[in-house]
Amino acid sequence: MQDTPISKVVNKVVQLDELFGAQRLSWTNKIKDLAEDLKHGENLHEVASYTLSYRQILVENIASVSSKIRTNKARVGKNFKEAWIRYYQYEYKLNDKQREKFIEADMAEDLQVQDLLVSHKEFLTASIKTLDNMGFAIKQRMDMKQI
C-alpha cells in the first residue's frame, strides 16, 4: 500500500509533533531532576553547572527553531502569493472569502508546521525562564548554607 500525498503530509506533521513532544518530555524531566536536587539542597554546585549548561543548550535550540520559523514563514508568504494568483486566474470566479478558504486548505501543512514551531519555541523560552528562576534559588540556597 502506497502513501498518498495527503498521508505523507499528515505523517510529516505527526512526526514533527512527536519529535517536539519527545524533546519537551526530555527537557521537563531534566528540569524536574534539577528542581528535586535543589529542593533537597544537595549537590548545589553540580545543579548550578547543569542549570547554566541546560540554559545555553536551550538558547541554541531557540535560535535553531527561530531560524526554521523565519524560513517557514517566508515559504508560507510566497506560497500564499502564488496561490492567490493561481486562484485569481481560476476558471471559476471566486470571491475573496472563497479564495482564502481554498488557499488555507492548500497551505494547511505549512500552517500546521508553523504552529508547531512557534509552540515549541514558546516551550523552550518558558524552560529558560524556569532555569533562570532556579539559578536565583540556587544562589539563595548557597548563601543560606554559608550563614
Residue-wise pLDDT for 125-143, tens only, equals 999 999 999 999 998 888 8
Residue-wise pLDDT for 36-65, tens only, equals 999 888 788 999 999 999 999 999 999 999
The grid cell for 124 is 523552550
Greater model confidence, 8 or 44: 44
User: What H or E segment, with its residue span, contains residue 54?
Assistant: helix 44-88
Q: pLDDT band for position 85 (50/70/90)? A: confident
pLDDT at site 84? 81
Contact 101, 32 (CB under 8 A): no
pLDDT at site 6? 52
Q: How far apart are CA 117 and CA 72, in angstroms?
A: 9
